[in-house]
Structure 1
Amino acid sequence: MRVKAALEAYRRHPAVVYAEPDWIVERQTTPNDPSFGELWGLNNTGQSGGVPDADIDAVEAWNITTGSSDVVVAVIDTGVDYNHQDLSANMYRSARDCVINGIDDDGNGQIDDCFGIDTLNNDSNPLDDNDHGSHVAGTIGAVGNNGVGVVGVNWTVRLMACKFLNASGSGPTSDAIDCLEYV
């Protein structure tokens, strides 16, 4: 049976609320070419040839607020390096499940999910093996004003890691949906 025919059959079944293919998705690729940063038409940071101040006005926003630790953002990607010096202080922690004891201490159906989950490997270790998710997490919330590395938009956000993409940057949409259900 072809995918289209199978979908039509599932969609007609009275017990099925919604059906779609379990597509394989891949992260977008940024080239590693040394002059990519000069291509303001592709990635405008206000550099030479670009439009000055073509940015999100983060500095102006930080004059109003640098963020809040009351905000939790789920990074649904290749995982997050929760030990990274610019991310670790801002990682979400499920306090009751940070004791690694093989027990679901917080009763959410996941065992020892201190920093989040890995739906790709069906475990509770969302450590990044690609660096893309960590880069995304850093853009969102690398610790600010600490004299280390970079700064995120929210300096004190809590970052929850949910890994669904493999080391090559691909994974099924069903694993992404599992991440959304976890959140």
Structure 2
Amino acid sequence: MSLINTPVKPFKAQAYKDGKFVEVSDADIKGKWAVFVFYPADFTFVCPTELEDLADNYAEFQKLGVEVFSVSTDTHFSHKAWHDTSPAIGKIKYAMIGDPTHEISRNFDILRPTGLADRGTFIVDPQGVIQGIEITAEGIGRDAKELLRKVKAAIYVANHPGEVCPAKWKEGEKTLAPSLDLVGKI
């Protein structure tokens, strides 16, 4: 069953952010857009390239009022150690959530039988409802700029009822207003 248009289930976990351990919960996403980026494990290969890409684009997400959370089944202690030893991960300013109990990974239906999370991205609206999901295989890295484009489209659609964003839509480009008149003409 798809999680699209379903609310994020309650959770509470420890995270590493801005040099501190902090508690993060579903209450922290209420009233704002959020992105959850699940990845298999700290100290791996594709994961640091993705998380660094997110770090390099984090300011753009923040300008839109979007909070970013990375999540793996590692502990918040492991996240700190990785942050302290990797130049790529050292750039991260967003919360790195530890999910050693697998509660969050199960809530997002992203937990593998091995106990690691799949490589999944979830866009969540201010009501805490999942509006976008992307899941890729282990070796396929994600692109933060493409995620940013999808978040902008989700925000646009939420703010403009009756309009939709076509393929490759970018901020400021023309949208569509679905109607009987458009059927068979696109």
Q: Same fold, TM exceeding 0.5?
A: no
Classify the TM-score, shorter chain: under 0.3
Q: Greater Rg, structure 1 or structure 2?
A: 1
The structure where helix makes up a greater share of residues is 2
The structure where strand makes up a greater share of residues is 2
Structure 1 length normalisation: TM-score? 0.22
